C-alpha cells in the first residue's frame, strides 16, 4: 500500500497538526505501508525552497511559494496555493505511483488532490482536522458568516462531497460533516491519540526550577501551550482572586506564548494578581516536561464556540498519559475526552466562578488524585493510543483500492 499524504505544513515546524501527522505516518509505516509526503506552499522557505527534505527520518516533498500577481491578493491568493500544490502533485505522482492520495485539512489541499487524483485515476481521502473558517474567526482574519467565511465553508463542503472517503478527528466534527449532506457511512473518526511510550507517570518536581521561579511552598495550577483567545486563559486569570481568598499560597504558571500574551499580562495587572501569575514565555521543547512536573493541576479553560465544541484538543490526552490531575471547561471537545470525577474535573465554560469553585474543590480533595491519575492513564492506554487509531485506516484504504492492508 502506497499512500501520498498531502499536508498544509509539517515538521520541523511544531504544532498539534505536525505532531499528529508524524504519529500517523510512523504508525502507518509500522503496518508495512509506504508513505510519501508533500507540503503546500504555506510550509515556507520562500519562492525557492528545498524541493525535497529529510526531517526526523521522514522524507518530504516541498512546494515553492508562488510570486505571481494573485499570490499578493487576499482570498485570491488561495487559488495560487491550490494551483501550485496541484502542479507539484502532478510532478510527484508519476514518480511514486501512490495507491491513495490522503489530503489533510484545509480544503485547499483536498481540492488540489482531487484535481490531481482525477488526472491520474487515484482515489482521494480527505481528513478534516478542524474547519478553518472557524479558526479564522477566532484569529480575527474572518467574520462569522462573512464573505470569506462563506467561501471557505463552501470549499470545505465541495471537498467533502467529492472525496472518495472522509476521515475526521472527533465525533463533533463528524456530526457537522454529516449535517452538510455527506453520507454517514462515508465518514470515519480517526481520533487524536498519544504515543504512550513517550509519556511516563510519576514525574518529580525540579525544586531548583521551582525556586528559580519563586514558587517554592506554593500550590500551582497552570497551562502549557499556545496562548490563543479560544483557550480561555482570561477566564483562568479572572478566577484567581476568588481562589486566593481561600488559598493564599496559590500561584498560576503559564508556560508558552502566542497572540494573547500581552493581553493576558495586562489582565493580570488589572486584576491585581501580577505577583501571583508567572509567565515563563516559550521554553525549549526538551524542557517542557520539567514544567509539567511542577504543576498540581493543569487547567484547560477553553471558551464555548463552534471551534471548541467541535474539535477535541491533544493537550488533555498528553496530560492523562502522564497521569496528571486536570480540570477543563465543559465544551464539546472536552466532553469527548474527560469524564467528570473519573478522569478529570469539568467546570462551566466562560464562567470564572465555576472554574474557581471546581478547581478549588479539586485542590482540597487531594485524596481523589490517585484515582483520577490512574483512570486518565488507563483511558489513553486502552482507547487513545496511535496503534488503535491508525488501524482504522485499514478498512478505508482497502475499500478504495481492493488491496490488502493487513
Residue 340 predicted with pLDDT over 70: yes
Angstrom distance (rounded) from CA 376 to CA 201? 11
- Residue 200: pLDDT band by 50, 70, 90 thresholds? confident
Percent of all residues in the chain with a pLDDT value above 70, rounded to a whole number: 94
Of 142-156, 182-196, 265-279, 333-347, give the lowest mean pLDDT range: 142-156
Angstrom distance (rounded) from CA 81 to CA 41? 6
pLDDT for 68 equals: 65
* Residue pLDDT, tens place only, 291-332: 999 999 999 999 999 889 999 998 999 999 999 999 999 999
Q: Which residues are 34's β-sheet partners? A: 2
- Residue 286: pLDDT band by 50, 70, 90 thresholds? confident
Nearest residue to 222 (alpha-carbon basis) of 322, 314, 298, 326: 298
Residue 210 predicted with pLDDT over 80: yes
DSSP string across 132-154: HHHHHHHHTSS-TTSHHHHHHHH
pLDDT for 125 equals: 98
* Residue pLDDT, tens place only, 118-146: 999 999 999 999 887 776 666 656 667 67
Percent of all residues in the chain with a pLDDT value above 90, rounded to a whole number: 79
Q: Are 298 and 224 in contact (CB under 8 A)?
A: yes
pLDDT for 327 equals: 98
Per-residue 3-state assignment (H helix, E strand, C coil) for 163-205: CCEEEECCHHHHHHHHHCCCCHHHEEECCCCECHHHCCCCCCC
pLDDT for 185 equals: 96
Mean pLDDT rounded to a whole number for the chain: 92
Angstrom distance (rounded) from CA 291 to CA 324? 12
pLDDT for 141 equals: 61
Nearest residue to 242 (alpha-carbon basis) of 278, 279, 273: 273
Q: Are 358 and 198 in contact (CB under 8 A)?
A: no
Edge to edge, what strands does the sheet with 219-226 contain?
277-281, 250-257, 219-226, 297-300, 326-329, 345-347
Amino acid at each position: 500500500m502506497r499512500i501520498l499524504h498531502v499536508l498544509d505544513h509539517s515538521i520541523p515546524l511544531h504544532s498539534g497538526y505536525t505532531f499528529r501527522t508524524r504519529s500517523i505516518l510512523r504508525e502507518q509505516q509500522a503496518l508495512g505501508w509506504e508513505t510519501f509526503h508533500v507540503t503546500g506552499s504555506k510550509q515556507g522557505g520562500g519562492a525557492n525552497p528545498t524541493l525535497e527534505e529529510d526531517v526526523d527520518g521522514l522524507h518530504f516533498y516541498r512546494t515553492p511559494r508562488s510570486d505571481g500577481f494573485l499570490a499578493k491578493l487576499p482570498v485570491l491568493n488561495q487559488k495560487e496555493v491550490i494551483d501550485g500544490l496541484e502542479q507539484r502533485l502532478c510532478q510527484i505522482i508519476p514518480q511514486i505511483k501512490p495507491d491513495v492520495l490522503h489530503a489533510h485539512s484545509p480544503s485547499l489541499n483536498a481540492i488540489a488532490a482531487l484535481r490531481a487524483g482525477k488526472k491520474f485515476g487515484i482515489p482521494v481521502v480527505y481528513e478534516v482536522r478542524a474547519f478553518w473558517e472557524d479558526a479564522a474567526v477566532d484569529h480575527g482574519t474572518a467574520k462569522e458568516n462573512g464573505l470569506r467565511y462563506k467561501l471557505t465553508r463552501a470549499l470545505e463542503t465541495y471537498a467533502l462531497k467529492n472525496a472518495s472517503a472522509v476521515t475526521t478527528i472527533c465525533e463533533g466534527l463528524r456530526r457537522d460533516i454529516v449535517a452538510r449532506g455527506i453520507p454517514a457511512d462515508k465518514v470515519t473518526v480517526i481520533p487524536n491519540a498519544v504515543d504512550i511510550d513517550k509519556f511516563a507517570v510519576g514525574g518529580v518536581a525540579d525544586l531548583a526550577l521551582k525556586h528559580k521561579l519563586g514558587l517554592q511552598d506554593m500550590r500551582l495550577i497552570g497551562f502549557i501551550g499556545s496562548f490563543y483567545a479560544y483557550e480561555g486563559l482570561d477566564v483562568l486569570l479572572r478566577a484567581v482572586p476568588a481562589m486566593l481568598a481561600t488559598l493564599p499560597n496559590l500561584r498560576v504558571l503559564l508556560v508558552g506564548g502566542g497572540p494573547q500574551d500581552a493581553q493576558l499580562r495586562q489582565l493580570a495587572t488589572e486584576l491585581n494578581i501580577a505577583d501571583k501569575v508567572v509567565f515563563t514565555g516559550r521554553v525549549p521543547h526538551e524542557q517542557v516536561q520539567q514544567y509539567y512536573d511542577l504543576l498540581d493541576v493543569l487547567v484547560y479553560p477553553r471558551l464555548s464556540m463552534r471551534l471548541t465544541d467541535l474539535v477535541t484538543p491533544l493537550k488533555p490526552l498528553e496530560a492523562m498519559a502522564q497521569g496528571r490531575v486536570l480540570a477543563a471547561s465543559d465544551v464539546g471537545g472536552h466532553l469527548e475526552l474527560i469524564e467528570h470525577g473519573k478522569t478529570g474535573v469539568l467546570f462551566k465554560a466562560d464562567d470564572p466562578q465555576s472554574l474557581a469553585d471546581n478547581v478549588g474543590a479539586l485542590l482540597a480533595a487531594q485524596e481523589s488524585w490517585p484515582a483520577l491519575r490512574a483512570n486518565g492513564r488507563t483511558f489513553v492506554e486502552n482507547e487513545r493510543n496511535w496503534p488503535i487509531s491508525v488501524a482504522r485506516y485499514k478498512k478505508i484504504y482497502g475499500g478504495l483500492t481492493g488491496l490488502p492492508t493487513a
